[in-house]
Structure 1
């Protein structure tokens, strides 16, 4: 299979690919004008939608469409200009702003002498249906909730004022009110639909201009999806009840008019939406990801039949965001047809697979990026997101990812790699296996700027395979330190929680001393590793038993206990804050041969214990003092909630000489 262009063609171009700004770059004033224009248009768009449930807004819409009906725009075009035109204009201005600005530069200078809170990194809610919610996200949620109740209130008033004008018999007023309420809920659903596709647009210039990574914006799509389908379900339910009370349920459901509202397409669209909604719920999505993935492709049916249901005039309210998504989807389809070379495939002892791909020279990514991967031999349709585990500074011609088995797709990949590794002629079979893989990569996505370099003090909290992006971050910091390039991190603490010790070899993929010899003179790097489902180090325990049985090792065994006793006594006398980490569980120190032989990194192993973040953060607070501390978490929801809860607690009871903890999540969960 020929892949002559795979190592030289770019992947999906992101906005950081523009390396050189225009020769005659406009002044900062032009950029400022563009930014002001974008914000004004966006505020106008939101204000129009927010005011829509009011009677004055409806009168304005009627007058506007009536005045524009004789123009080239017509009724539908006039409504499109008001409800979809502003967001499309913002998108085009964002493209112009990104082109003018060229490549974004990372500011590594401290903006303030003293630590301060930020809305994006201050967790407000840490439990519940929304997961971890920052202050900025909480404000956004409140705005949508306020709009929903305001819209219900405003439309209910309009319905009550309209009912007397219809001169409906008293026995039918309840049924007519149900139909009017169903109509209004449909309008509210269309307004939410106008926002629904914006966060899921992977290469969105709108997300880029406000520096919201796609993995974070996906959460907003999930929240909006639940809200939108809830409203549309009420819309359909009210009509079904009204039709059922009149005894014409089946007739109305099958009706398809050539003009106005067609009911049958609406029924089809709602059924497709309900199927997507049910399979996207967390219990179904996590256990049956393939079912969720394939049923979610029904969004095409949902959108097309929704347009047929309401007509082009009403559909133009939500058309702007859908149009931007369609453009992005088309570009991703073109990009996904290209393939990349798989340089190597390795199955680690814990079952995690490391894949290394060829990287085009003009591909720009950073240690916080992630990519979507497709392997056609496993599935032609499925794309799976993975964080990169290699720093862009570690090699110019490759990018690597670590893949843990979590479903059928990853299980097939591991099975194929492990079968080739265990067979005779391992190297030849693996090379043949890699050459026969038809892999495509989408991306990179995520933060365009490596924000981890903006903190002098970092705490990286990982659960299981969540260590993958942190290996890239540490490699990034070490390479920058070695090359003497701007790099703010000076104190880095890695907290890694794993289930069993067979995951420890993942750490061997990073050798700090070989990257940056004597880095400990410039960088204080510590690592706490928690093996939660093992009470003792397996290798140490095996050595002790073997020495006792085979070599008559009571002397050796007692010697080991004596050394351990002395070590514990020295640590107690030293008064180090690390002692507070030994809590409520059996905690034992592991031998050095369980972790990489890198004595410049201060490592501690804890067995049968989970991280006590209150004690760890309190200890760090006393050691590091009045500074900004960046917390980056990559792991399951429970881990994120635990860290966010402690960040919030530390910040709320913070003293004048204590740090501010900034919570950042690098977890991506579909």
Structure 2
């Protein structure tokens, strides 16, 4: 579980308008920088960029600290993205006027996508086609029978050589965006109204595009070398320039990783998929050695932010988390409850508990929430409803009405609904929420006659060595993340600048030697890792010490034996208790046997101005709800899908 994903929000008041103005100004800067960044990708294959812009940039940024080419790459491709990431740490994105564009569309091969997602996907494909087509148009114009003959090649061979190179260049565009969607603690995704959970599909799409282009790049070169009797090129590792062996090793690692990502293998052999996915380390490492560090800096920002996030999650995973209790349901479902750091004192800290989840930002904007689930798909809705119960009872926060439509195969699965009430909560808490549950048992015509089973709760003894869940970078996690992103990159630039100026530069210019491109790349990777490890570790240890007092307070509070119901008993110093009576809660539940819900009726009859429709469950169910919401027959329906698998 990642706890460094959202900062506390300020309380509403007179300064709220000023905060909105600041956010709007920051977003304007972000949009301007991002637009310029995208324009560079559009211009990159043109003669204007390659013959006019790039030489001028390199002339203005050449130095003995970063060489003649790398400074320009830092300036136009690396720094803009890191600047956006840093700005993203100090602002929170609000609602966009894009609801019409967020209506779902079902595309074969892509699944359920919104109109804006489809638009961006088509624009991205257009960018790739534009780059590849422009590269080929300009390059092929220079290939003539005379020019090909000078190289001892036929025209088609020269064109194949050029096409193979251009496939690799276009593949690097997709690679540059590949790691953004899987950066869980991203400060970039929230700027565009995205969450890491919902962005996994972008990573999948980009991954397939990357591997398709790089595989075509490799195969095209093998065909070219075979046709021109240069297969010996496959075993060359040049001291400067492109290393063919490193590229082949990178491609092999990528192909093994890619083979296990297809749904049939991923779902049936998930551990194989999980462990082979770590081959991305070898894939990226040999990619850097293949193309050199200067060209790598084009795709570096996304991977740099991913490495920071991955190392922070590594530090977080070293903690032993305190498990306080477990609830065992008759339907063989288990709920685990972990101790969490308390946020007391200010209104903003309490509001943080409500708004920490990106899902909450989505649900609070509607008048009514219709949650449609199938089987275990009800579990994320249980978490959302419990957050809203907390907001209603503790924070006195106005929340939308809720209609939960759940389908189960058997009546024993109905006990999953009892998890809506937390262990310490009273059944009457749901009354103030405006919650109505329509539960459908599809495989049974009537209630079973066997004796009803209750939920069993097991309390665990506190372990002094275990700590409650706390944000890894403390309550000001975004500001710490901004500091880590900025300082780690600055440390990298300082170290590599000094090394280049006083070690690599003298070798390249004062002797007959040329410093190895691979060695240079390895040193850059090393200093990038040093910068990340040093700054992230400092941030982690600083906040760990700051949280020590709070953790001790929580441990003292949890040291006492929890108060149980009259049904509780003890054995071996552990305690079990049966679930609290659910009479009041059961009044909000209508159970239907032997039928399925009429989703069109439930959705189309709602007259509220804004109805959020959330669905989680089997693919068929998600597609059915998406079709209803995208039909255009009800303009007040706003669709969101939650999926456990991709």
After superposition, the Cα gap between the structure-2 partners of 1:599 and 1:259, relative to the gap in structure 1 and judged at 3 Å, is closer
Alignment partner for residue 82 of structure 1, among 76, 87, 110?
A: 76
Alignment partner for residue 331 of structure 1, among 306, 309, 312?
A: 312
Counterpart residue number, 2:643: 667
Per the TM alignment, residue 211 of structure 1 is displaced from its structure 2 partner at its CA by 3.3
Deviations 1:547-593 (A, max 9, x none): xxxxxxxxxxxxxxxxxxxxxxxxxxxxxxxxxxxxxxxxxxxxxxx
Distance across 1 between alignment mates of 2:356 and 2:170: 32
| 8 A contact 1:511–1:596 mirrored in 2 | no
After superposition, the Cα gap between the structure-2 partners of 1:445 and 1:336, relative to the gap in structure 1 and judged at 3 Å, is farther
Per the TM alignment, residue 509 of structure 1 is displaced from its structure 2 partner at its CA by 2.3
Distance across 1 between alignment mates of 2:11 and 2:398: 23
Deviations 1:224-247 (A, max 9, x none): 111111111111111111112223
| 8 A contact 2:375–2:406 mirrored in 1 | yes
The residue correspondences of 1:177-192 to structure 2 (distance < 5 A) are: 177-192=159-174
SS of 2:128 mapped into structure 1: helix
Counterpart residue number, 2:47: 55
Counterpart residue number, 1:68: 61
| 8 A contact 1:179–1:238 mirrored in 2 | yes
SS of 1:495 mapped into structure 2: strand
After superposition, the Cα gap between the structure-2 partners of 1:77 and 1:605, relative to the gap in structure 1 and judged at 3 Å, is same
Per the TM alignment, residue 118 of structure 1 is displaced from its structure 2 partner at its CA by 0.4
Per the TM alignment, residue 165 of structure 1 is displaced from its structure 2 partner at its CA by 9.3
Per the TM alignment, residue 17 of structure 1 is displaced from its structure 2 partner at its CA by 4.3
The residue correspondences of 1:444-593 to structure 2 (distance < 5 A) are: 446-447=357-358, 449-483=360-394, 485-490=396-401, 492-511=402-421, 515=426, 517=428, 524-532=434-442, 534-537=443-446, 539-540=448-449
| 8 A contact 1:213–1:445 mirrored in 2 | no
Per the TM alignment, residue 49 of structure 1 is displaced from its structure 2 partner at its CA by 0.9
Distance across 2 between alignment mates of 1:166 and 1:38: 49
Distance across 1 between alignment mates of 2:301 and 2:289: 17
After superposition, the Cα gap between the structure-2 partners of 1:328 and 1:363, relative to the gap in structure 1 and judged at 3 Å, is farther
Alignment partner for residue 30 of structure 2, among 31, 38, 41?
A: 38
Deviations 1:433-478 (A, max 9, x none): xxxxxxxxxxx98517443222111101112122112223223333
SS of 1:73 mapped into structure 2: coil
Per the TM alignment, residue 354 of structure 1 is displaced from its structure 2 partner at its CA by 1.3
Alignment partner for residue 234 of structure 1, among 210, 213, 216?
A: 216
| 8 A contact 2:164–2:220 mirrored in 1 | yes
Distance across 1 between alignment mates of 2:388 and 2:307: 38
Distance across 2 between alignment mates of 1:36 and 1:669: 35
The residue correspondences of 1:270-285 to structure 2 (distance < 5 A) are: 270-285=251-266
Per the TM alignment, residue 332 of structure 1 is displaced from its structure 2 partner at its CA by 1.5
The residue correspondences of 1:126-275 to structure 2 (distance < 5 A) are: 126-164=106-144, 167-169=147-149, 172-249=154-231, 251-275=232-256
Distance across 2 between alignment mates of 1:65 and 1:180: 24
After superposition, the Cα gap between the structure-2 partners of 1:357 and 1:518, relative to the gap in structure 1 and judged at 3 Å, is closer
Per the TM alignment, residue 284 of structure 1 is displaced from its structure 2 partner at its CA by 1.1
Q: Which runs of 5+ in 1 are unaligned?
A: 1-9, 365-390, 394-443, 544-594
Distance across 2 between alignment mates of 1:264 and 1:293: 26
Counterpart residue number, 2:296: 315
Per the TM alignment, residue 647 of structure 1 is displaced from its structure 2 partner at its CA by 0.8
SS of 1:132 mapped into structure 2: strand
Per the TM alignment, residue 31 of structure 1 is displaced from its structure 2 partner at its CA by 4.2
Counterpart residue number, 2:5: 14
- Root-mean-square deviation (CA), in Å? 3.3
Counterpart residue number, 1:616: 602
Deviations 1:99-132 (A, max 9, x none): xx7xx9x99xxx9xxxx97046311x22411111
After superposition, the Cα gap between the structure-2 partners of 1:295 and 1:41, relative to the gap in structure 1 and judged at 3 Å, is same
After superposition, the Cα gap between the structure-2 partners of 1:630 and 1:27, relative to the gap in structure 1 and judged at 3 Å, is closer
| 8 A contact 2:427–2:585 mirrored in 1 | no
Counterpart residue number, 2:456: none
Per the TM alignment, residue 632 of structure 1 is displaced from its structure 2 partner at its CA by 1.0
Deviations 1:350-394 (A, max 9, x none): 221211111122499xxxxxxxxxxxxxxxxxxxxxxxxxx958x
Per the TM alignment, residue 71 of structure 1 is displaced from its structure 2 partner at its CA by 5.8
Deviations 1:85-107 (A, max 9, x none): 21111112222x33xx7xx9x99
| 8 A contact 1:478–1:515 mirrored in 2 | no
| 8 A contact 1:632–1:664 mirrored in 2 | yes
Per the TM alignment, residue 642 of structure 1 is displaced from its structure 2 partner at its CA by 1.2
After superposition, the Cα gap between the structure-2 partners of 1:523 and 1:262, relative to the gap in structure 1 and judged at 3 Å, is closer
Per the TM alignment, residue 292 of structure 1 is displaced from its structure 2 partner at its CA by 0.6
Moved segments of 4+, more than 6 Å: 18-21
After superposition, the Cα gap between the structure-2 partners of 1:511 and 1:327, relative to the gap in structure 1 and judged at 3 Å, is closer
Deviations 1:297-330 (A, max 9, x none): 0000000000000111211111111111111112
Counterpart residue number, 1:352: 333
After superposition, the Cα gap between the structure-2 partners of 1:340 and 1:519, relative to the gap in structure 1 and judged at 3 Å, is closer
After superposition, the Cα gap between the structure-2 partners of 1:121 and 1:254, relative to the gap in structure 1 and judged at 3 Å, is same
| 8 A contact 1:481–1:516 mirrored in 2 | no
Of the two structures, which has the highest relative contact order with CA contacts closer than 8 Å and spacing of 6 or more?
2
After superposition, the Cα gap between the structure-2 partners of 1:296 and 1:333, relative to the gap in structure 1 and judged at 3 Å, is same
After superposition, the Cα gap between the structure-2 partners of 1:308 and 1:211, relative to the gap in structure 1 and judged at 3 Å, is same
| 8 A contact 1:350–1:503 mirrored in 2 | yes
After superposition, the Cα gap between the structure-2 partners of 1:51 and 1:608, relative to the gap in structure 1 and judged at 3 Å, is farther
Per the TM alignment, residue 80 of structure 1 is displaced from its structure 2 partner at its CA by 2.4
Distance across 1 between alignment mates of 2:259 and 2:243: 25
Q: Which runs of 5+ in 2 are unaligned?
A: 346-351, 453-580
After superposition, the Cα gap between the structure-2 partners of 1:474 and 1:286, relative to the gap in structure 1 and judged at 3 Å, is same
| 8 A contact 1:482–1:516 mirrored in 2 | no
| 8 A contact 1:197–1:221 mirrored in 2 | yes
After superposition, the Cα gap between the structure-2 partners of 1:336 and 1:142, relative to the gap in structure 1 and judged at 3 Å, is same
Distance across 2 between alignment mates of 1:62 and 1:83: 15
Distance across 2 between alignment mates of 1:296 and 1:211: 27
SS of 1:84 mapped into structure 2: helix
SS of 1:212 mapped into structure 2: coil
After superposition, the Cα gap between the structure-2 partners of 1:216 and 1:445, relative to the gap in structure 1 and judged at 3 Å, is farther
Counterpart residue number, 1:433: none
